[in-house]
A and B are shown apart, each in its own frame.
Chain A
Amino acid sequence: MATTAMVEEKVVYQRPESLESIPTHYCPGCTHGVAHRLVAEVLDELGVRERTIGVSPVGCSVFAYKYFNTDGAEAAHGRAPAMATGIKRIMPDRVVFTYQGDGDLAAIGIAEIVHAATRGENFTTIFINNAIYGMTGGQMAPTTLPGQRTTSSPVGRDVELTGFPIRMAELLSGAPGAAYVVRRSLHNVKEINRAKRAIKTAFEVQLAGLGFSMVELLSACPTGWKVTPPEAMDWIEQQMVPYYPLGDYKIADGVEQLAKRR
């Protein structure tokens, strides 16, 4: 018997198979990368990568179809839910998700997402809310907070002039066809783990055919907000979370049984 205890080295974390092994074009500290990884991990865990079709938006995540090791399609600006509707109706055995930012989903594409949710289309939407138009240079988005400085609101968003930021999770929770609508954040490890569980539930809702599911993720845009990545995480916690409360906004009948079964 050897006196030293034998140990072996085990890989406890590695890149999920559903994510291509290429560097992303996202800025340092952008949590799009975290959201991509969580979706990829969930697809791996559910074992559905080979029959998944992602629909990419227009915005920073326009190349999402390149990063996911799944089939993918690229929709016109804001029209990912319409394209996902078509794909899912033609091929109901496929797992279909849209990955959309706030400029895509909450501005130009708000009609598509509201009607897709109301019809109860059986796909999953991952909604990245970073309170700014990232790709075009940090302009004010529908989700920009009151008083927030952007390149098109240089003295801060004036709600007298431009109205209030839109809360999409609350809005879509009123849609009769929506089965699972929640908001999570990506600003620290605990919240990232909660976000992953929500994404998994959202895909399970789709696999069970319960209807429309959406996970809104509060996300960082250090470049657009003109802060460092650690400051951006604090900014989400201190500024965004109070206006966009984290929580479950719509849990339809049948969803809780899914969570219990796991």
Chain B
Amino acid sequence: MAKGRIEINEDHCKGCSLCVIACPQNVIELATDRVNAKGYYPAMLVDPEGNCTGCAICAVACPDVCITVYRQVPVKASSAAAAL
């Protein structure tokens, strides 16, 4: 399972590809089959092997603040017990 994932706000994305070149795992691509409301090819996460680590480097590079980054973190034993 991937350690992280990103959500991209496609309507804010301008397809500049800076996240694509910044991503150390090469799991971001520009869409080729659709454009957003402004006519740009939006970036998207393509991660079938689950390589995304949730490092947030893409989000730091993004000039349009479209990327929200999530990371899977282990639940501490005490809070896991509390949840049960």
List the interface of chain A (C-beta within 8 A of B): 5-16, 19, 23-24, 26-34, 36-37, 188-189, 192-193, 222, 228-230, 233
Contact = CB atoms under 8 A, between A and B. Distances in A.
Contacts of A10: 70-73
Contact of A189 (B12, B22, B38, B71): B22
Main secondary structure of the interface of A (DSSP, over half): mixed
A5 B74 contact: yes
B73 A28 contact: no
A32 B63 contact: yes
Interface residues of B, number: 33
Given A15-B68, A29-B63, 15 more contacts: A9-B73, A10-B73, A11-B68, A12-B69, A13-B59, A13-B60, A23-B38, A24-B64, A27-B14, A29-B18, A30-B63, A34-B63, A37-B63, A189-B57, A193-B60
Contacts of A228: 17
Contact of B56 (A5, A6, A12): A12
26 contacts: A5-B74, A6-B74, A7-B75, A8-B72, A8-B75, A9-B70, A9-B71, A9-B72, A11-B69, A13-B67, A13-B69, A14-B68, A14-B69, A26-B64, A28-B16, A28-B40, A29-B18, A29-B63, A32-B63, A33-B65, A188-B22, A189-B61, A193-B60, A230-B18, A230-B21, A233-B21
Contacts of A6: 74-75, 80, 83
Interface of B: 4, 11-12, 14-18, 21-22, 38, 40, 54, 56-57, 59-65, 67-75, 80, 83
Contacts of B74: 5-7
Given A10-B70, A13-B67, A33-B64, A233 B18 contact: yes
A29 B43 CA distance: 13
Contacts of A23: 11-12, 38, 64
Contacts of B63: 26, 29-34, 37
Nearest to B24: A189
B35 to A, nearest CB: 13
- Select the residue from B14, B17, B59 with max chain A CB neighbours within 10 A: B14
A230 B22 CA distance: 10
A32 B69 CA distance: 21
Given A12-B56, A23-B12, A26-B63, A230 B17 contact: yes
B74 to A, nearest CB: 6
A12 B71 contact: yes
Nearest to B64: A33
Contact of A13 (B38, B68, B72, B80): B68
Contacts of B15: 28
A6 B38 CA distance: 41
